[in-house]
Amino acid sequence: MQQPSAPRKATGRPPRISREEVVGTARRIVTEEGVGKLTMRRLATEIGSTPMALYHHVRNKEELLVLLLDDYAAQALRPTALPAEPRERVVAAASAIHQALAACPWIVEVLTADDLMSTHALWFVEQIVDGLVDWGLSLERAVRGYRAIWYYTAGEIVVRVTAARRRGADDRPTYREQVFAGLDPDELPRLAQAGERWEALTAEDTYEDGLRALVDGLLAAG
Amino acid sequence: MQQPSAPRKATGRPPRISREEVVGTARRIVTEEGVGKLTMRRLATEIGSTPMALYHHVRNKEELLVLLLDDYAAQALRPTALPAEPRERVVAAASAIHQALAACPWIVEVLTADDLMSTHALWFVEQIVDGLVDWGLSLERAVRGYRAIWYYTAGEIVVRVTAARRRGADDRPTYREQVFAGLDPDELPRLAQAGERWEALTAEDTYEDGLRALVDGLLAAG
DNA sequence: GGTACTTTCCTTACATGTACGAAAACTACG
DNA sequence: CGTAGTTTTCGTACATGTAAGGAAAGTACC
């Protein structure tokens, strides 16, 4: 496996393709035709190679997607001016990450990878941790707080995107619709009451509301 | 597609297998040998049928997994006594869901499905929404609050489980480790400071801490 | 019985990720 | 030049989910 920026070794068969070429071509396919069209075979022929040759530059398809995410983050997440006040800084940084990810639904398969450890997102992570510490949290609590924010953010995106994906691909009634249709108002009064509005409420973008609640709670606890 | 509890139609070729049999056999395979061993072919031969015959009782493999999750929830999530005080009731109900899911890591692929709309989990959802309303939130805010809690919960599980999965399957250094190794303390002081402890902090189970913060924030906002 | 219709089952075929092992292309050393 | 060692490339093979279309096994009406 070729290391991203390792010193060249002048031994062995000279490479014909590079990791950069692989990732670059993959990015082109994804942006032009969607992640669904990105297959190892397609990528290989596009590069003028064979599928198995790719595996010397990329561990597997999942790593390729992680690299694509990193690549995307580099372009979509640039440090900008953030509020000085700690609470607002935390909210703004998290919102920036969320917004970038939400605009790019194909990363869902990768989102679950680790925390968002893309090099280019780290600046925002720093802002979040720093904001929490500035408010008075210990470093430890601040890191935990960041993780809670990340769970919330990743969860929101993953759930929302896959739900939308499912809805689009099918015309049969949702499982949810079936469930709500058969609700017993005596046993589950609140859900029955919310029944009709549930669908609408679910569609709303309430990320920031929840984020603010979470941040408020984290700060109050510290 | 055979409906779960539709009135029998005495026309057409009589079915040889039922959805229940499919799900039941799938459950056995999963509990005995893990979700990795559950393939449509394996399932078919185990039942004494062919792969494509399964597709008349189950839309696709993903639906099968959703059914399995529902099945699991029915057994793992039984209504129990919860605290009367609203805040504690919300925390307890969410924690119960979280605990059940965390004990059953194979559902990760399904978790992203919808919100947890398993019939058998609805009681807990009801408790959460009801607790929030009891505290004084409008029904609308309560539903939004439940969704925030669900995002946080699903995100925590998905992220933690897949991270663990990745770690186990590989011996090469994590991407995270590589990133932290090359941190510039001038640009990202907080992260560099946390560097060594990050790994340990990540391993901790801080679900309930974050949950309490979120619930506190939701209640304070209402 | 015969024809039409319906539902379930099965055979075949394809696309995909990727494991395995060998071939190719180079350097280093004798 | 030849042999060994190293890295990259490639051909083949397999497991998997599932699409498409037809065969099988019943009922309903004549």
Q: By percentage, how much of chain B surpasses pLDDT 70?
A: 86
3 state SS of B144: helix
Contact assignment for A114 to B206 by CB distance below 8 Å: no
Closest CA to A28 of A20, A111, A76: A20
pLDDT at B195 (0 to 100): 82
Highest-scoring range by mean pLDDT, A61-65, B4-8, B40-44: B40-44
Query: pLDDT-based confidence at B205, cuts 50/70/90?
Result: confident
Specify the pLDDT at position A44.
Answer: 98
Collapsed DSSP state (helix, strand, coil) of residue A36: helix
Which one of B152, B191, B206 has the shortest CB-CB distance to A129? B191
The stretch B21-48 carries a mean pLDDT of 96
Nearest residue, CB atoms, B113 vs list A143, A162, A188: A162
8 A C-beta contact, residue B92 and residue B82? yes
pLDDT at residue B170 tops 60: no
The residues, ordered by sequence, that sit 6+ positions from A56 with a Cβ below 8 Å of its Cβ are: A1, A2, A15
* Residue range B99-124: mean pLDDT, rounded: 72
> In this complex, do A112 and B154 lie within 8 Å of one another by their Cβ atoms?
no
Minimum CA–CA partner of A176 in chain B? B117
CB A133 within 8 A of CB A187: no
Please write the tens of the pLDDT for every residue from B59-88: 999 999 989 988 888 888 887 888 888 899
Q: Which residues of A touch B129 (CB under 8 A)?
A: 190-191, 194
Q: Which segment, A104-108, A133-137, B23-27, B167-171, is predicted with the most confidence on average?
A: B23-27
Whether residues A216 and B212 touch (CB distance < 8 A) is answered with no
For position A139, what pLDDT does the model report?
Answer: 93
Of A142, A139, A159, A207, the closest CA to residue B209 belongs to A142
How close A129 comes to chain B (CA, Å)? 7
Residues B49 and B16 sit within 8 Å (Cβ to Cβ): yes
Q: Let me know if B151 is exposed, middle or buried by CB neighbors in 10 A (0-12, 13-18, 19+).
A: buried
Q: What is the pLDDT of residue B183?
A: 81
Q: Which amino acid would we find at residue B58?
A: V
- C-alpha closest to that of A54 among A28, A88, A16: A16
Would you say residue B116 has pLDDT above 60?
Answer: no
A63 vs B200 pLDDT, higher one: A63
Domains and CATH numbers, chain B: 1-58 (1.10.10.60), 79-221 (1.10.357.10)
* A2-9: average pLDDT: 60
- Tell me whether residue B105 is exposed, middle or buried, using C-beta atoms within 10 angstroms of its C-beta: 0 to 12, 13 to 18, 19 or more: middle
The nucleotide whose C1' lies nearest the CA of B54 is C9
**Contact call for residues A175 and B116 (beta carbons, < 8 A):** no
Q: Is the CB of A1 under 7 A from strand D?
A: yes
Does the structure show a pLDDT above 60 at A197?
yes
- The confidence score (pLDDT) of residue B110 equals 72
**Distance in angstroms, CA of B51 to C1' of D20?**
15
Q: How confident is the model at residue A114 (pLDDT cuts 50, 70, 90)?
A: low
pLDDT at A73 over 60: yes
How close A203 comes to chain B (CA, Å)? 11
Q: What is the pLDDT of residue B181?
A: 74
What is the pLDDT, as a whole number, of residue B85? 85
List CB contacts (< 8 A) between B163 and chain A. 113-115
Q: What is the pLDDT of residue A212?
A: 93
User: For residue A163, which phi and psi values (nearest 5 degrees)?
Assistant: -60, -45
Helix ranges (H only) for B120-206 are 122-135, 139-168, 175-181, 189-203
Residues A28-37, mean pLDDT to the nearest whole number: 94
